[in-house]
A and B are shown apart, each in its own frame.
Chain A
């Protein structure tokens, strides 16, 4: 058990979950305290002691399945394929506990796992799902539940139960592969990444969803940092009245001088986001961030651009959800001028002309973009003017720093006028930016 626990914690560290030796020791003590009879109790005990942040929980759960696998299940070996499918449907309908066994049987029969084949678990899951015809099963389930295909409630319920089946398949395939290949190899092959280490530019659909969930706390943190920065560190002037009042309790001796609190200034933030094709998935992410921010930060003005710039603050203010807001931007914001390729020079000149007046010495400007201007004039003059009129300018670039200034990237031309230019490829880097740079 303890040997396995130590290997488990090594795999967690591999995946980027920081587990300190003290925490491993805690985990051992916790496992001793609860006993190791019940798997779910052990999971809860290890999770409470080893995983201290929400974003690491998925990685923990996956690795737990690998290092503490369920024994593969086999049930009803003498059913025909047809009967197997029928009893699965009835198990789904009645919520019987027979389902895991049936799924185990299906994996045994259809996945065709054979030793030594270097194939991913997704392949075996797919084979099983295809063989038992998951879509057909879902249709049958909807019918059996009494929905004619139009009832949303029943369709959702069916999707949920079918989702349960495919989760069971994944788990079953995983535990069989672990049995065959060993835990370390499986963990290595899956290359588990925390959401904050995923590269935003190349994130898959699932990863983007996970990112989206991670954005909300980040936005809150960004707002907190910005507000704190604007709160004066110095104490305010002496509050004479309060000091006299306070001194009454010490016989008229003003032991505690009381000062007035300075009212925190509302931070003014202007966000300028490149939403052109070359940074499409990054743009989706920044707009998501923008959406969350605009809920929290009242003094936020946001602008989107490709080769024209337009204000999009209003789109987020109406309280619609983010998808609607994104469609709204695509439909109504005038971000495309002539060509539809990013043109930073035109954008900055345009921005300076139309909105330059609204920038002031209290404004923080944040530019998100790859600084790839398609060999147009980068408009350094205009950018210099803009950066000169605000309190601070930050540039967040989704490209690795090594790529800056290669090809049509003009990053090095802009950088001298920024308070800081930072590479932000992952959420973790954004975290660092907020806590260290801002």
Chain B
């Protein structure tokens, strides 16, 4: 998959309802040109996973997703031998012991599938920072060479390279080796202007005045030292609930009533209430 230019990427993402910054578009463009994975890092709720999904939608790519968690191993990420089928084949004496280690007994897991499939595809390795450091090393061969080595079969190389996006919440510092192989994209909370556009884009029926007020208020909240600053998803939820309540502006009363969609901790709510009441 080769994108023509950063602008073309930005345009394609916009048509499926994702508003990319120039940096996002440039990085994705480079990923396709240099055939390198992209590591997307940033706080929760800034649209990391959504970016991958939107990109797959925009270019009609097959989306192959590997959700990482502690304890994920080779058998679940790369490939596994189909024991049951091997055993049955041996019992039926149709096969000799050597021949049960063939392609037809191999169970594809997401990563191997991404390498062997044809056509345009996007491999999303989600929350890679949840992996243990040993498991992370498993991915290195895939990310650098786009190949997997199966001891009994040999090396399987991708004929065409899939686009790879890794996401991380920064819970754990990823290894230098992995970072070196990937392009790095940091997704922060959007600035006020971009957030306003996102809200207008994603919340039907919102007036531009209300969208601006919502974006402004959320931006102010993020400057406070909160336990969990509101994410884009939460500010969208908030905007939607304001539209449902047919509020036309941010009055103190309606804000007080709907604030729990935006802030999820009691302490944060108290801080925000001080901001509303004070000043």
Contact residues of A with B, CB < 8 Å? 18, 20, 22-23, 26, 29-30, 33-34, 40-41, 44-45, 47-49, 51-54, 57, 152-153, 156, 217, 220-221, 224, 249-251, 253, 255-256, 295, 318-323, 431, 435
CB neighbours (8 Å) of A250 from chain B are 83-84, 87
CB pair B84–A20 under 8 Å, yes or no, is: no
Whether a CB of chain A sits under 8 angstroms from the CB of B226 is yes
> Would you give the shortest CB distance from A350 to chain B, in whole angstroms?
31
CB neighbours (8 Å) of A249 from chain B are 83-84
Identify which of B21-29, B98-106, B252-260 touches chain A. B21-29
CB neighbours (8 Å) of A44 from chain B are 22-23, 26-27
Most buried by B among A20, A22, A26: A26
CB neighbours (8 Å) of B26 from chain A are 34, 41, 44-45, 48
Give the docked Cα–Cα distance between A220 and B228 (Å).
14
What are 30 A-B contacts with C-beta separation under 8 Å? Answer: A18-B176, A30-B34, A33-B30, A33-B34, A34-B6, A34-B29, A34-B30, A40-B22, A41-B6, A48-B26, A48-B27, A48-B30, A48-B38, A48-B184, A48-B185, A49-B183, A52-B39, A54-B41, A220-B171, A224-B172, A249-B83, A250-B83, A251-B84, A251-B88, A251-B91, A295-B227, A319-B266, A321-B224, A321-B225, A322-B225
For A231, the closest partner residue in chain B by CB is: B70
Give the docked Cα–Cα distance between A330 and B179 (Å).
43
Q: Mark B157-180, 1 if CB is under 8 A from A, else 0.
A: 000000000000011110010011
| Contact residues of A: prevailing secondary structure | helix
Give the docked Cα–Cα distance between A251 and B87 (Å).
8
Return the contact of A221 from the options B23, B34, B171, B268 (Cβ within 8 A). B171
Most buried by B among A52, A153, A256, A323: A52
Whether a CB of chain A sits under 8 angstroms from the CB of B279 is yes
Give the docked Cα–Cα distance between A295 and B228 (Å).
11
CB neighbours (8 Å) of A221 from chain B are 171-173
CB pair B184–A52 under 8 Å, yes or no, is: yes
Q: Mark B65-93, 1 if CB is under 8 A from A, else 0.
A: 00000000000000000011001100100
Knowing that A44-B26, A319-B265 are A-B contacts, what are 12 other residue pairs whose CB atoms are under 8 Å apart, sorted by A's residue number? A22-B180, A34-B29, A41-B22, A44-B23, A48-B27, A53-B184, A217-B170, A217-B171, A220-B172, A221-B171, A255-B83, A319-B267
For the side of the interface on B, what is the size category?
Answer: 35 or more
For A35, the closest partner residue in chain B by CB is: B5
For A54, the closest partner residue in chain B by CB is: B186
CB pair A47–B180 under 8 Å, yes or no, is: no
For A225, the closest partner residue in chain B by CB is: B172
Whether a CB of chain A sits under 8 angstroms from the CB of B222 is no
CB neighbours (8 Å) of A49 from chain B are 30, 183-184
Interface residues of B in 28-45 (CB under 8 A from A): 29-30, 33-34, 36, 38-39, 41
Whether a CB of chain A sits under 8 angstroms from the CB of B149 is no
For B225, the closest partner residue in chain A by CB is: A321
Instruction: Given A23-B180, A48-B184, decide whether A321 and B83 contact each other with a Cβ distance below 8 A.
Output: no
CB pair B30–A321 under 8 Å, yes or no, is: no
CB neighbours (8 Å) of A52 from chain B are 39, 179-180, 182, 184
Give the docked Cα–Cα distance between A320 and B271 (Å).
8
CB pair A321–B226 under 8 Å, yes or no, is: yes
Give the docked Cα–Cα distance between A51 and B184 (Å).
7
CB pair A152–B185 under 8 Å, yes or no, is: no
Give the docked Cα–Cα distance between A271 and B160 (Å).
53
Return the contact of B34 from the options A29, A41, A295 (Cβ within 8 A). A29
For B130, the closest partner residue in chain A by CB is: A224
Whether a CB of chain A sits under 8 angstroms from the CB of B261 is no
CB neighbours (8 Å) of B22 from chain A are 40-41, 44
Return the contact of A321 from the options B91, B179, B271 (Cβ within 8 A). B271
Whether a CB of chain A sits under 8 angstroms from the CB of B220 is yes
Give the docked Cα–Cα distance between A30 and B38 (Å).
13
Give the docked Cα–Cα distance between A15 and B216 (Å).
36
CB neighbours (8 Å) of B180 from chain A are 20, 22-23, 52
Give the docked Cα–Cα distance between A253 and B87 (Å).
9
For A220, the closest partner residue in chain B by CB is: B171
For B184, the closest partner residue in chain A by CB is: A52
For A20, the closest partner residue in chain B by CB is: B180
Most buried by A among B26, B39, B83, B267: B26
CB neighbours (8 Å) of A153 from chain B are 216
Give the docked Cα–Cα distance between A251 and B176 (Å).
45
> Would you give the shortest CB distance from A147 to chain B, in whole angstroms?
12
CB pair A26–B91 under 8 Å, yes or no, is: no
Most buried by A among B30, B179, B226, B268: B30
CB pair A45–B30 under 8 Å, yes or no, is: yes
CB neighbours (8 Å) of A156 from chain B are 220
Give the docked Cα–Cα distance between A256 and B84 (Å).
11
> Would you give the shortest CB distance from B51 to chain A, in whole angstroms?
14
Instruction: Given A51-B184, A321-B271, decide whether A30 and B30 contact each other with a Cβ distance below 8 A.
Output: yes
For B186, the closest partner residue in chain A by CB is: A54
